[in-house]
Amino acid sequence: MTDTIAGRPFWRLIFDKDGDTDQQLVDTLAQERAALGITDLVMLSHGWNNGHDTAIRLYHRWFDLLAAHLGAERKVGFVGILWPSQLWRDEPIPDLAPTRQPVEGGGAAALEVTTPVSAGAPTLEPEILADLKSLFPDGAAQLDTIAQLLAGPPTHETAEQLFTELRSLHAATSEGFDDGENPADEPGMLDTDRAPEDLFTEFADKLADTGVEFESGGGEAGAVGDFVSRGLNGAKEALRQLSYWQMKNRAGVVGRVGLGPVVAKLAAGDSGVRVHLVGHSFGGRVVAYALDGLGDAGGAPVKSITLLQGAFSRFAFTDALPFRDGGGALAGRLARLDGPLSVCFSSHDTALGVMYPLASLAARDDAAEAEDKLFRYRAMGSHGAFDSDRMPLEGAGTVYPFLTHRILNLDASEVVTAGDPPSGAHSDIFKTELAWVVAAAGGLT
């Protein structure tokens, strides 16, 4: 028997890291949807999280917001997508209130620190190490070595060894595919032209820029090359970003190999079903790559896609890339979407605005002469989709100029504002304005 949220049916779809799914759950969804006369399915994917229970709480809270905007006569069902991604335990999750709160007025000055955030020790807590080894079993040996190095002295040799182990970890655990940002198919921070001490110090400086405080000198950035004082914290952040790079790539596999074919199967069973895909963070990549795995499904079942702080390349749908020949990894795929793609982004998302591009930036950057040296590596959730229409995110009831097969960027910087360093407002997604976008884009009001 199906669960309910806000009086509407709720189903779960579970995928493993290879995109394989629990077929019984798919069959149950298809059968019960038909029996209940549900015409529209809103499918939401989490990004990084701490397990299925956390994701389910997220879905209950977010679908409650959406339900308030749905027309009473609309036959809408909810689907929560579950896949293996792991949040580090020292970061806030979307269903918990951050200690950094917005102040009146929003905008660029809309964050006020109420509780300092300490960088803490650079060591890997046993629980986090266990989580990482569970998520990346093929990299267990490298993770143990990295944990030992982070607990040791911050020497030149330590920096070199950490960099070597990070490269080895990537090689042992690499999966999926990137968005064409780096032809080497690895995060640019692992470029062998990098000087490890400088790389780790830069990560530490960026942590300070986001508001993280260090015992050795507050939140201000230190001198370049100052590896001794806090470089190990930077190395720990580099490990965090490498794990998130792997999660991003995995999300594409889940979308292309798993979710896309499931949606196609639902449409094949009933060409009248209307699907609306919503993704937060890496979940945005899951739902975007579902278009790639949809094939030529009859009836064009996907009627809208909404990205909430999408953690993947803003160039993914670009037909002609401005920095190399060819298009983005999803160029041409909007033709498979029978409706609009809404990209909700915020300048207060420091996880994507600061750390994501830094992890992606290669030492041999071919856009170094550009005004923004990180231009090539910007994310959907911090800057919006490249070369697409944009407007501010506004209140419930707003009539947006949605167009079929077209992207509309919605600048949520006045609304999506709350969050602690270093992630900032990345998980500040429980907003009625965002729920309205999903309802309006899908014609569900």
Strand ranges, E, within 318-431: 341-345, 389-392, 407-411
Query: Which domain, by its residues, includes 223?
Result: 119-247
Last residue of a domain, one of 197, 222, 247: 247
HSE-CB of 94 using CA atoms within 13 angstroms? 29
Per the listing, tokens 């199906």 go with 2
Q: Are residues 301 and 422 in the same domain?
A: yes
Q: Are residues 204 and 147 in the same domain?
A: yes
> Residues 59-97: pLDDT tens digits?
999 999 999 999 999 999 999 999 998 777 766 666 555
Determine the pLDDT at residue 381. 96
> Residues 343-365: pLDDT tens digits?
999 999 999 998 888 888 766 55
Last residue of a domain, one of 247, 263, 295: 247
Which residue, among 279, 434, 283, 425, has the nearest Cα to 353 in the 3D structure? 425
Q: Are residues 334 and 190 in the same domain?
A: no
Determine the pLDDT at residue 261. 95
> Residues 290-308: pLDDT tens digits?
999 998 766 689 999 999 9
Q: Are residues 356 and 399 in the same domain?
A: yes
Q: Are residues 239 and 275 in the same domain?
A: no
Structurally, the chain folds into a number of domains equal to: 2
> Residues 145-170: pLDDT tens digits?
999 999 999 999 999 999 999 999 99
Tell me the CA distances in angstroms from 127 to 38, 93, 215, 395, 409, one per residue in order. 42, 16, 24, 41, 38
Q: Are residues 321 and 384 in the same domain?
A: yes
Q: Is 317 inside a domain boundary?
A: yes
Determine the pLDDT at residue 113. 42
- Mean pLDDT along residues 94-114: 44
Determine the pLDDT at residue 209. 86
Give the CATH number for residue 62. Answer: 3.40.50
Q: Are residues 134 and 270 in the same domain?
A: no
Q: Is 277 inside a domain boundary?
A: yes
Q: Is 192 inside a domain boundary?
A: yes
Average pLDDT along the chain: 87
Q: Is 113 inside a domain boundary?
A: no
∠ CA 227-230-233, rounded to 5° = 110
Q: What is the DSSP letter of 336?
A: G
Q: Are residues 141 and 229 in the same domain?
A: yes
Backbone angles phi, psi at 34, to 5 degrees: -65, -40
Q: Label residue 366 exposed, middle or buried (CB < 10 Å: 0-12, 13-18, 19+).
A: exposed
7 or 92: which carries more pLDDT confidence?
7
> Residues 204-220: pLDDT tens digits?
998 888 888 887 543 44
Last residue of a domain, one of 197, 231, 247: 247
Which of the four pLDDT bands, split at 50, 70 and 90, describes residue 102? very low
Q: Are residues 269 and 392 in the same domain?
A: yes
Q: Are residues 210 and 265 in the same domain?
A: no
∠ CA 428-379-356, rounded to 5° = 85
Q: Are residues 83 and 143 in the same domain?
A: no
Q: Are residues 274 and 362 in the same domain?
A: yes
